[in-house]
Amino acid sequence: MTINITIDNKKVTAPEGCTILQAANIAGADIPTLCHDQRVKELGVCRLCVVEVEGARNLVASCGAPATGGMKIVTDNERVRASRRVILELLLSDIGDGSAKSLSGSAMEKLLKEYGVTKSSFPRTRAKIKIDKRGPLYVHDYDKCILCRRCITTCETRIGRYVTGLTGKGNATGLATFGQAPLTGTECEFCGACIDACPTGALIENWRLKNLDCDRRAKSICTYCGTGCGIIANVKNGKITGVEGDPDHPVSHGDLCVKGRFAFDFAHHPDRLKTPMIRKRKRGKLEKATWDEAFDFIAKRLGEIKKKSGPDSIAGVSSSRCSNEDNYVMSRFMRSVVGTNNIDNCARVCHAPSVTGLAAAFGSGAATNSLEEIEGAEVIFLIGSNPQDAHPVISLKIKKAVNNGASLIIADPRKIWLTKYSTIHLPLKPGSNVALINSMLNVIIEEGLIDEQFISARTMNFDAVKQMAAGYPPAKVSRMTGVSAKDIRMAARLYASSKKSMILYGLGITEHTSGTNNVKALANLVMATGNVGRPNSGINPLRGQNNVQGACDMGALPNVFPGYQSVTDESVVSKFEERYGAKLSRSVGLKTTEYYDAIENGDLKALVIMAMDPASTDPNLNRVHAALKKLDLLVVMEIFNTRTAKMADVVFPAASFAEKEGTFTNAERRVQLFRKIIDPLQGVRPDWRIVLDLASAMGAPMPFSSPEEIWDEVARMTPQFKGINYARLEREKGLCWPCPDKSHPGSPVMYEVNFPHGLGKFNVVGNIPPKEKPDSKYPFTLVTGRRLEHYNDGSMTRRSRGLMKIRSHETVDINRDDAKMKRIKQGDRVKVISRRGEVLVRAKITDSSLPGRLFMSFHFDDALTNVLTSEGYDELSGTPEYKVTAVRLEKIKKKTSVLRSKK
Amino acid sequence: MNKKEKLYANVIPELMKACSNSGGVTSEAKISIAKKLSVPVTAVEQTATFFPSLSIPPAKYQIMLCKSLVCHMDKSAAIYRAIKKELKINKACVSPGGKFSLTLVNCLGLCDKGPAMMINNRTFTSLTTEKAINALRAL
Amino acid sequence: MTSLFALKESQRRSSLKKVLASNPEEIIKEISASGLVGLGGAGFPAGRKWEAVRSARPGEKFVICNAEEGEPGTFKDRYIIENFPSRVIEGILIALRAVGAGKAYIYIRHEYGKGYRSLLRALREFPPGLMKKFGSPEIVLFKGPGGYICGEESALIESICGRRAEPQSRPPYPTQSGLFGRPTLVNNVETLANVPLIFNTGAAKFQENFRKLFSVSGDVKKRGVYSASPGITLRELVFTQAGAMRSARRFKLAIVGGLSGRAYSADDLDLKLDYGIFGNGTVIVLDESRSLKDTVLNIAEFFADESCGKCAPCRQGTAKFTAMLKKQFKNKSGSNNMKRLKLLSTVMKDTSLCGLGQTATRVFDDITEKFGAEV
């Protein structure tokens, strides 16, 4: 429906229900605004957007006033101009010295210029406000505040937090945290959305205070999680001075989290490795060496090992943090130069079950829909994932959906922050996923909520699964899961109530002995309700690392080439043999989690690791450390001297993401091009370059001279990527594979017509209990996971000064009542002991931990959490059971000098 | 209204209850109200700091004297000066020892009986300087 | 004083009986026919407002009686509540029935202790059988934390919700989306108190005999609440009803409608205080001894105190206006300052979000127009 109105004597047709401001934009009239923000509700406080409406006595604020048919509007005349000028002067009168110079560099400055306001003619009446530089990371210069409220409105509605509030009344109104607490004493998550919203610079980043200008601004993609947000780096004198969000980015739209926004200073940290190092003698020290020395050393050693024990005694670990191009040359190196399929990446320890589980159901193991579609979902089932900490910008989309009326079901053994938004929280026992999900399926079948049409037309094997589900009635499952039958029923009905129901899941589903089964169980739910192959539905594993999807896509896996083409498929292998000009293995290689057995057996002698730190991040670390020490050769490519690098025989200094170009693939299969922000540090090389140079040193050069050439080969060899090239990526802001040809627009929504092998498959899945159960000796269940402010092994984020100010050490999160029972107080030092080791750490009493359950992350060097973690793993995928470890807590006496984990 | 709104609607009654003669609502009280009503403490603070009646200077007897037009015409300013002098009110608007505080407020709705003042919850109308001082001396 | 609102017990019962025998549409028809308008100052036809709430989307609805009475010079609502609280309760019950609401709030400023107790007593003493016939609605006595802006209906609603009393942009209007986002009827005490009178005499007779309450104060002999038919002249109200000037000094100025109203000089004494002019019925009389500088400054300070601070023109404007007036009166800054004051006044009127900012400088404008030299 449209309406006809007149704007500045021009006849305009506008959609019914739009505001005068929106209609004016259609007409091309430029109405100034200050408090207006499209992403939050209309505030109407600055009154700058006033226009003259025929028949109205006063001027009308166009931002909120609805345009009605027949309205006659004038957006600019003397009366309107005079009002706007006076309002600008009124605001300016309480800022600085009342002159426009006080606001130089800000968005408001432009308006002042436009209306010819250089100095306010009104007297100051608001008391001067001192700048609050406590931070951390950003400051409050409230003397510049015009009380437009964009900051607090953004924080309350989009972020869901209440950090700062209005105080006082009238002209004395101000903004403050409760009790004037510094930001670290509030619930601020340092996402920076308020800074972006501020039009006067009253909220400003520390770095920008020091460097208001820059030489240039360079776009890239964030190096942290799998959301793949767009960033814009400010570069001055060859260094990154600061980072902002990219408002044009199709996924993040300018949003970032604290890491993406503030944790870029690792790139310039003095700890950056700048020279290759070799440990010439087994028990000797790592010494500086030249690149050639290092390559020769490796070529010689690898040659010896290959000759003595065969190519399969050598394995490679590729990197989910590095680019697609880095990953592809690494896997090509291992296959064509070393001659083995022993190549894997860290997906092994996180989302490998997603790949196997979803492939078993749909024929392909990746997310079915795009991240943007979260915002339009009607029901979101979030299970085993804490996006508020691990994927903050995805969490923003969930919050937006809920604000728009979507229902959120959360299944998590912890009372995570997002339960504030959920309709129902299912606090299931760690390790009882299959029982819970099968029970939900049971309810959906029993109550006739299945999509019979979809099941019969597009799937197979439903009857077997129907029979299986009958064995999981809510009453029985309630005991197994600790979730009431009533809640199971409610969640099931809610999920099945919509054709826009989307499942988002994470490592709480995959990192279990039943990981693959858990994923298959979820896929059953999706197919039973027909919630796949359509927008705003589907099942999306939230991939953790910035390029873990890409690493898998590039074939850095022991059983597939790029695009999941099998290594046991003769036609595929021949195709690659022809391309590589070398004989390739036809047997499936080892998974990283199988390496330790192989090392202990003497079957695996050498390991080449690109940008991964298993000595901090694999489970059961005491065993890992012993095994790594046993290797004949350990080669590591890194940017910092991590725990694994410290154990290596050869270390190569690599370039960070900021110093190279290439592509990353995010959780929604979007391949994104990222370009160099700064020149590589003196002495470093990009990982793909290191691998190419190593291949040359070993007499088997690969024909690439740039990342683009590497990508072009991948595209040529892989049907799903054939239509993707750098030029298109640049133009179209990334493409979601499958993208089979140059004119294909990419596939945000998969399986709209068919599944890859025709029909989707229902899989019978049984409950596989966790490897460890709590008992009298180890009565607590430890769940491990992520925290917002730090990332993975912490090697990058712990070198970011700002982030260390927010969180500087690890804690074991314990329930209030449990703490009381064990007489543990906030901040007490405790020992967390498992069957494999112990860790000393400080206790944090929190409501997010439920009775009997503890939580720790693995980001800190001084609390090596993975010393504790279980030896259990998922049979099919090899993924370790990080989510269920039986531990006990011991208070330690006050006089303990050192906080170190037992080796 | 839903449960959340229902709880939020208790913020002002709770603030007024917690407001004592000791000058308003303490931080602890605000935190406890926030917890009780499942409302963010910054939201409680936003509301609390908006209403001057919730932060009258502390005293056993809080005097609120009307300064709006009609009472002003009736020379409330002179009464103000007299009370200030009599009780030796300082810059923080309290008397030495803290027995009295003196605040100028806007229209009390007693313009037909002005000048008017309130001491805690009691109203005193048709004031003269003498009447006001006598009333204070009686406390 | 006036006993306009007195009803014998028999009259009361028969009025309420009449209401109980009518359906909502019929009740509102009667209200419309009576010509009753909002008597708190806005003057909006009550019947239309009630109908807007009645016909709004079904579900929970609310009635709010606005007993904030913060406009300086106004005390008529206090008078009604202290002397005729039952009229208020009855008006609320009738409104609840007419709009289809089950809960009402009486928002009374906390300073009105006597009035609060009076209403409490009236609620307790209300015949339970009769209350049951009206559906036993919930009537909440809400003590307002105070502040002029709480009298603005959307700000009042915000404060009941627990938030800062800040007026909201309209649309949507409270009749569509008010308390907790539900259709809400907000009416002044006097408006509601007149409702049972409508059903006592019938709409036609009510309209014929309608009397507005006037709060008269300032330099008159007999300050108080007077009832008079709309159209009474200023002269009659001041010089006949209120006993004329309290001293030998002559009439200079009357501020009608409170500080947010208009100012009239001796030349305007024959002005008919009719619909659209009387506002909330407040009349403050100033004699020739009164300093107009002092007066406009007092008014400016009042609005700077009471501005909620939400919108820029009022938050900034009221404070600057006061500061500039002070400066003007101290060192007679001359015509340029006056020009800027006039410009500021215009912009505040044109762009403020609510009535406070829009009317804060009206009396100043009138006084400078009529008494230019003195200001």
B-proximal residues of C, 207-266, CB under 8 Å: 215, 217-219, 223-225, 255, 259
According to DSSP, residue C30 is labeled H
Chain A residues touching C317 at Cβ < 8 A: 90
Nearest chain C residue to A34 by CA distance is C312
Radius of gyration of chain A (CA): 29
Q: Which fold, C212-287?
A: Ubiquitin-like (UB roll) (3.10.20)
CB pairs under 8 A between A and C: 105
| Cβ–Cβ gap A46/C318 under 8 Å | no
Please enumerate residues of A whose Cβ is less than 8 A from a Cβ of B: 162-169, 176-179
Quick check: bond before C230 cis, omega within 30? Answer: no
Low-confidence ranges of chain A (pLDDT < 50): 900-903
Quick check: bond before A748 cis, omega within 30? Answer: no
**CB of A189 closer than 8 Å to CB of A159:** yes
CB-based contact, B106 to chain A, within 8 Å:
no
Query: Subunits that touch chain B (at least 3 Cβ pairs < 8 angstroms)?
Result: A, C
Q: Return the exposure string of B65-77: e unless at least 16 CB atoms fall within 10 Å of the residue's CB, then b.
A: bbbbbbbbbbebb
* Each residue's pLDDT tens digit, A744-797: 999 999 999 999 989 999 999 998 999 999 999 999 999 999 999 999 999 999
How many Cβ atoms are within 10 Å of A841's Cβ, its own excluded? Answer: 23
Angstroms from B131 CA to nearest CA on chain A: 33
**Matching residue, tokens 């970011």:** A800
Interface test with B, best of C66, C68, C75 (most B CBs within 10 A): C75
**Matching residue, tokens 């294909």:** A744
| Cβ–Cβ gap A91/C310 under 8 Å | no
Per-residue pLDDT in tens (0 to 9) along chain C, 375 residues: 568 999 999 999 999 999 999 999 999 999 999 999 999 999 999 999 999 999 999 999 999 999 999 999 999 999 999 999 999 999 999 999 999 999 999 999 999 999 999 999 999 999 999 999 999 999 999 999 989 999 999 999 999 999 999 999 998 999 999 999 999 999 999 999 999 999 999 999 999 999 999 999 999 999 999 999 999 999 999 999 999 999 999 999 999 999 999 999 999 999 999 999 999 999 999 999 999 999 999 999 999 999 999 999 999 999 999 999 999 888 766 677 889 999 999 999 999 999 999 999 999 999 999 998 787
Please enumerate residues of B whose Cβ is less than 8 A from a Cβ of C: 1-2, 5, 8-13, 15-16, 37, 39, 43, 46-47, 50-54, 67-70, 72-73, 106-114, 118, 121-123
**Matching residue, tokens 């931002």:** A63
Strand partners, A833: A838, A888
Tokens of B33: 């109200």
pLDDT given at position B9: 96
Superfamily covering domain C9-209: NADH-ubiquinone oxidoreductase 51kDa subunit (3.40.50.11540)
Give the integer Cα–Cα distance in Å for C151 and A504. Answer: 48
Burial class (CB in 10 A: 0-12, 13-18, 19+), C201: middle
H or E element: which one contains C264? strand C262-265
Reported residue count of chain A is 903
Tokens of B100: 């009295």
Per-residue pLDDT in tens (0 to 9) along chain B, 139 residues: 789 999 999 999 999 999 977 778 999 999 999 999 999 999 999 999 999 999 999 899 999 999 999 999 999 999 999 999 999 999 999 999 999 999 999 999 999 998 999 999 999 999 999 999 999 999 8
- Nearest Cα to C196, choosing from C364, C34, C358? C34
pLDDT given at position C365: 97
* Sign of the torsion angle spanned by Cα atoms C309, C314, C317, C322: negative
The domain C292-374 is placed in CATH, from the list 1.20.1530.20, 3.30.360.10, 1.20.1440.230, 3.40.50.2000, at: 1.20.1440.230
| Cβ–Cβ gap C324/A122 under 8 Å | yes
How far from the centroid of its chain's Cα atoms is residue C27's Cα?
A: 23
Angstroms from B51 CA to nearest CA on chain A: 8
Chain B residues touching C283 at Cβ < 8 A: none
Burial class (CB in 10 A: 0-12, 13-18, 19+), A854: buried
| Cβ–Cβ gap B50/A169 under 8 Å | yes
Chain B residues touching C162 at Cβ < 8 A: 8-12, 37, 39, 43, 47
| Cβ–Cβ gap A79/C308 under 8 Å | no
3-state DSSP assignment of residue A429: coil
| Cβ–Cβ gap C72/B46 under 8 Å | no
3-state DSSP assignment of residue A480: helix
Q: What is the DSSP string of C277-299?
A: TSTT-EEEEEETTS-HHHHHHHH
**CB of B30 closer than 8 Å to CB of B68:** no
| Cβ–Cβ gap C350/A173 under 8 Å | no
**CB of A492 closer than 8 Å to CB of A327:** no
Chain A residues touching C316 at Cβ < 8 A: 87, 90-91, 93-94, 122, 125, 171
Radius of gyration of chain B (CA): 17
3-state DSSP assignment of residue A86: helix
Chain C residues touching B8 at Cβ < 8 A: 161-163
| Cβ–Cβ gap A168/B46 under 8 Å | no
Angstroms from A111 CA to nearest CA on chain B: 30
Angstroms from A150 CA to nearest CA on chain B: 16
3-state DSSP assignment of residue C45: strand
**CB of C44 closer than 8 Å to CB of C173:** no
According to DSSP, residue A550 is labeled H
- Nearest Cα to A335, choosing from A553, A594, A587, A549? A587
Chain B residues touching C159 at Cβ < 8 A: 12, 47
C-proximal residues of A, 81-110, CB under 8 Å: 82-83, 86-87, 90-91, 93-94
Chain C residues touching B12 at Cβ < 8 A: 145, 159-160, 162
Angstroms from A188 CA to nearest CA on chain B: 12
**CB of C170 closer than 8 Å to CB of A64:** no
**Matching residue, tokens 């314990």:** A814
| Cβ–Cβ gap B50/C164 under 8 Å | yes
Average model confidence (pLDDT) across chain A = 95
Q: Which fold, B61-137?
A: Glutaredoxin (3.40.30)
| Cβ–Cβ gap A178/B49 under 8 Å | no
Nearest chain B residue to C258 by CA distance is B69
Chain B residues touching C292 at Cβ < 8 A: none
Reported residue count of chain C is 375
- Helix H, strand E, coil C: the string for A705-759 is CCHHHHHHHHHHHCHHHCCCCHHHHHHHCCEECCCCCCCCCCCCCCCCCCECCEC
- Helix H, strand E, coil C: the string for A883-901 is CCEEEEEEECCCCCCCCCC
| Cβ–Cβ gap B45/A169 under 8 Å | no
| Cβ–Cβ gap C70/B108 under 8 Å | no
The phi and psi torsions of A610 (rounded to 5 degrees) equal: -105, 115
CB-based contact, C143 to chain B, within 8 Å:
yes
Tokens of A28: 């091309």
CB-based contact, A169 to chain C, within 8 Å:
yes
* Each residue's pLDDT tens digit, A759-773: 999 999 998 999 999
**CB of C117 closer than 8 Å to CB of C6:** no
pTM of the model: 0.95
- Nearest Cα to C300, choosing from C373, C218, C356? C356
Burial class (CB in 10 A: 0-12, 13-18, 19+), A69: exposed
Domain borders along chain C are 9-209, 212-287, 292-374
| Cβ–Cβ gap C72/B118 under 8 Å | no
> Which residues lie below 8 Å from residue C23, measured CB to CB, with a gap of 6+?
none
| Cβ–Cβ gap A126/C319 under 8 Å | yes
pLDDT given at position A903: 40
Angstroms from B39 CA to nearest CA on chain A: 10
Interface test with B, best of A164, A178, A419, A422 (most B CBs within 10 A): A178
> Which residues lie below 8 Å from residue A856, measured CB to CB, with a gap of 6+?
A782, A784, A810, A811, A812, A813, A832, A839, A841, A863, A865
Nearest chain A residue to C170 by CA distance is A65
* Each residue's pLDDT tens digit, A841-880: 999 999 999 999 999 999 998 899 999 999 999 999 999 9
Strand partners, C214: C226
Q: What is the DSSP string of chain B?
A: --HHHHHHTTHHHHHHHH-BTTTB--HHHHHHHHHHHT--HHHHHHHHTT-GGGGPPP-SEEEEEE-SHHHHHTTHHHHHHHHHHHHT--TTSB-TTSSEEEEEES--S-GGG-S-EEETTEEE-S--HHHHHHHHHT-
Interface test with A, best of C159, C170, C176, C320 (most A CBs within 10 A): C320
Chain B residues touching A159 at Cβ < 8 A: none
Chain C residues touching B11 at Cβ < 8 A: 162-163
pLDDT given at position C3: 83
| Cβ–Cβ gap B69/C114 under 8 Å | no
Give the integer Cα–Cα distance in Å for A776 and A779. Answer: 5
Domain borders along chain B are 3-54, 61-137
Give the integer Cα–Cα distance in Å for A101 and A98. Answer: 8
| Cβ–Cβ gap C343/A86 under 8 Å | yes
Give the integer Cα–Cα distance in Å for A512 and C272. Answer: 85
